[in-house]
Amino acid sequence: MLLYLLIWGFWLTLAVYGFWYFFIAKTFQPLTLDDLALTWGLHKQQTGCTTSRVHSLLTRNNEVVGFKCECGFEFQQKRLITQKVRKPSVSFGCSETSRSFKSSVRKLGRKKLIVTFHSYKGGTGKTLLSVKTQ
């Protein structure tokens, strides 16, 4: 009788762990400059945020995984552990920026990085991005 309880407990524990691992457990996903600009633009549009720049970038293992806005909003890009690692997509005109973003964060060290997004209502509706260091 006790052996059956131990076996059922083992299988139940294994099933709960398997469910957690495949459907709940998450890890950080690095952001490209394109993803960062899109996410911050969506934040501003959906919440009506009036800030003109990102307060700080959140990094893990020398990769940008999110940002903090001056209004207090914090975003971290996460993915399920079982999902494939998404490689940065190369978009026309931004490929060098996306590739060099990770290496530029490493080079900055303790310097302050200011990312400013300029949106305009011209014909294309794109968001312009300027990056400065202090």
Let me know the angle formed at the C-alpha of 70 by 131 and 121, rounded to the nearest 5 degrees: 60
Q: What is the pLDDT of residue 110?
A: 54
- C-alpha 82/C-alpha 62 separation (Å) is 22
Q: What is the pLDDT of residue 100?
A: 46
What distance lies between CA 119 and its chain's CA centroid?
A: 21
Contacts (Cβ under 8 Å, ≥6 apart) of 73: 43, 47, 49
Provide the 10 A C-beta neighbour count for residue 105. 17
Burial class (CB in 10 A: 0-12, 13-18, 19+), 80: middle
Helix (H) or strand (E) holding 66: strand 63-69
Residue 97, token pair as written in the block = 């920026």
- pTM of the model as a whole: 0.54
Q: What is the pLDDT of residue 98?
A: 45
Tens digits of residue pLDDT in 34-92: 888 888 889 988 988 888 888 888 888 888 899 998 888 999 989 888 887 766 555 55
Q: What is the pLDDT of residue 50?
A: 87
Q: What is the pLDDT of residue 24?
A: 92
Backbone angles phi, psi at 98, to 5 degrees: -65, -40
pLDDT band at 15 (very low <50, low <70, confident <90, very high): very high
Q: What is the pLDDT of residue 83?
A: 82
Provide the 10 A C-beta neighbour count for residue 47. 11
